[in-house]
Each structure stands twice: as C-alpha cells, then as structure tokens.
Amino acid sequence: MKIITGGVCAAKGYKASGVHCGIRRNQTKKDLALIVSEKKATTCAVYTRNLVKGAPLTVTKGNISDGYAQAVICNSGNANTCNADGIEIAEKMCELVQGATGVDAKDVVVASTGVIGQPLSITPIENAMDELASLLGEDGNFDCASAIMTTDTIQKEVAVEFEIGGKICRMGGCAKGSGMIHPDMATMLVFITSDVCISKDMLQKALSSDVDATFNMLSVDGDTSTNDMVTVMCNGMAENDEINAEGESFDTFMKALNTVTMTLCRMIAADGEGATKMLECNVTGADSLDTARTVAKSVVCSSLLKAAMFGADANWGRVLCAIGYSKAEVDVTKVRVSFSSDKGEILVCENGAGVPFSEEKAKEILLEKEIDINVNLGDGDYSSKAWGCDLTYDYVKINGDYRT
C-alpha cells in the first residue's frame, strides 16, 4: 500500500474537471465539478440521517439503486435543499451530464453543497456544461477537488496504489468539509473512485463498515449536514478477479479504503472552520467497541475542551466531564488521561484524579498543530479514535454572516 498522486483520477479510466460557472460570486473560485468513468462502475453510497435532506441525495439514491453509476456532478455555493423545485434541478443536472458526455442521466451521482434554502438556478450550470466536459482529463483531479469547496481553505484529496490477485489497483478520493460537520452515517461530500472489480454487495459492505470507524468519528461543530454523502465507484478496469466474498482480496480493498477515508478525515478535521489545531482522541481500555467510540467522539465534541485546546490550556477536567456525560458505562475511577504532540507527552490524570504536572511543558505540547488526547478507560481491550479541531473566535466570524 503506497500513497500516490492523482486523487480521483489516479485509478484507470477516470477523468475529472472543475470550472467557475457563476453560482458563487467570487469568480476566482471554481463551483462546478465533474468526474466521469470510462466504463460504468459498481457504485454505492451512504447518506446523512438528517430528516432534512438535499434534493440531490434523493435523486442520487434513485439513480444508483441498481448499484451502478458512471459520472458525478457536484456544485458548490448552493445546497439545493428545502427548495420547491430541488428534485427538478437535480434531475436536470444529470440530464446536462448526459447531453455533454453521453453518460445516461440515470447513471449520474449528483451533489450540491452550500447555502440551504436558496433557489438554485440551472442556467449557470447549463451554460458551463460544454466547457466542463471539454476540460475532462486525467489530470483534472485538483480542479475537481477545488470546485467542491465551500469554506474549505485547502483542497482535500488522496490516492493509493495496492495489489489484488497479482493486479495493480488504485483508489483515490476527494472531499469537501470544513463546517457543519457532525456525521451520522456519512459526512460532508466525499467522492472515491477505484479500478478494482468488486460486487455491489461487497462494496456496500465495505463502505458501510468503514464509515463507522472514520467519517462517523469526525466532528467539527456538532451540526449534522443536510447534504452529507459518501460515494464509491469501482469500474473494474484493474481486471482483478471480482471480489464477491470476504477474504484476502476484500481485506486488501478494505485497507485501501480505510487509508483513503482516514486521510480525508484528518484533512477535514485540520481544516475545520477557524481551526488552528487538529485533535485526535485515542481511547483504549474500553469494555466494548461501542463504549470506545462513544467516549472518543464525546471528547472531541466538547466545546469546552475544544476551546481549551485553542488556548493551549491543559484543562483535563473537561475530558473527564465529556466522558461523564457521554452516557457510556465507564468506571471513572480507572480513567487515565494524557496529552501528546510532536513535543512529547504529559500525564495529567490517573485513576480519575489529577496528578502533578508541569504547566509549562503541557503548554509547549498543546501549542502544536496536531494534538492527541489519550484516554485509557482501564476496563477492557477495545479501542477507537475520533477527530476534531479546536474552537476559535474565527468560527463565529465565519458563520455569523455566512449567507450574506
């Protein structure tokens, strides 16, 4: 397993592009992305459980109900959510892809991100489709990753190369996400492409299993989006024997998928709105996986702890507090907590009580860009990780006038 370049274009048979079509006011920002596979691909997705869902999710769910897709179109700047004509607009976007590329409209994944409740005009998208299609290329991954961004400050993409059954395989992905991130079954917008040959049932099993340990363990601000979706397309062009059951090949595929999703998780956490630090909570010693996950996510979701991390304040009591209200069955008298970064590690709590430590050393550790919050529950062999970021003044500034 090795990291390579290329993002969503790294695997065989994929091209991508991104342009500014006019949905966003800033003409320097791309706002329309397209990914096309040379061949129809086995495709699956997971979606937000928010009862308020963007129209594109409804259309996508219908389009890939047969387990296949061949293209992805995504706009930024407008979520196409809570609009009376939302379904019509999303379906029209798919039809525009068909007209420009020849891909059947029913084989298109459609996604939107941005402001909720604002009508989305099809005109700028329609006017840009010919250019968007003409720019499709095997080096279009960066433009594609740029076009799906909203308040993101960096493009988020990764790709890996691995071997299955003697065949070289590749997988790549791009994501957008900076605020309104607190997933429930999916997160933000994530598009993953691969040339592996895998059955639709095993692909769905792989993705559903993976998101519980990755994207569902990520939180920036506690708000679950209306448009969260993760999709995976596998066009089989690596020509490996189809993966249709668990075994070595499936395990390798899962490892590749987890490498891609874990990397994107960390990128999203580090780029949280207004964030200056990426937080990773490592929970060990839990009596069950559910307990480990519940505690880890409760800690990274704590606004008080996130604020303390912004101030480089080793206020470990806020970790215990978050564990206490997580509703996990935990014996707090066994809990051990430490903070660590590239500057070292410092123990701050043992057996549920504070221990003497150097405030100066703790501050040095917590001033780093990536901070680990290590929690040992002392009650079993299960573990889990969760990712988040600090809470800063800029988060309020960004969201105070986001719409206007």
- Catalytic residue IDs: 187
Q: Which of 323, 324, 335, 331 is nearest to 386 (CA)?
A: 323
| 72 contacts 176 by C-beta, under 8 angstroms | no
Helix (H) or strand (E) holding 251: helix 248-270
| 321 contacts 302 by C-beta, under 8 angstroms | yes
Which residue shows structure tokens 């606004």?
303
Which residues does 97 contact at the CB level (< 8 Å), separation at least 6?
34, 71, 73, 103, 105, 108, 129
Q: What is the DSSP string of 302-351?
A: -HHHHHHHHTT---THHHHHHHHTS-----GGG-EEEEEETTEEEEEEET
Number of neighbouring beta carbons within 10 Å of residue 61: 14
Rg (alpha carbons) of the chain, rounded to whole number: 22
Q: Which two three-digit tokens encode residue 303?
A: 């606004």
Which residues does 176 contact at the CB level (< 8 Å), separation at least 6?
76, 113, 145, 148, 149, 150, 152, 156, 188, 189
The single-letter code of the amino acid at 96 is: L
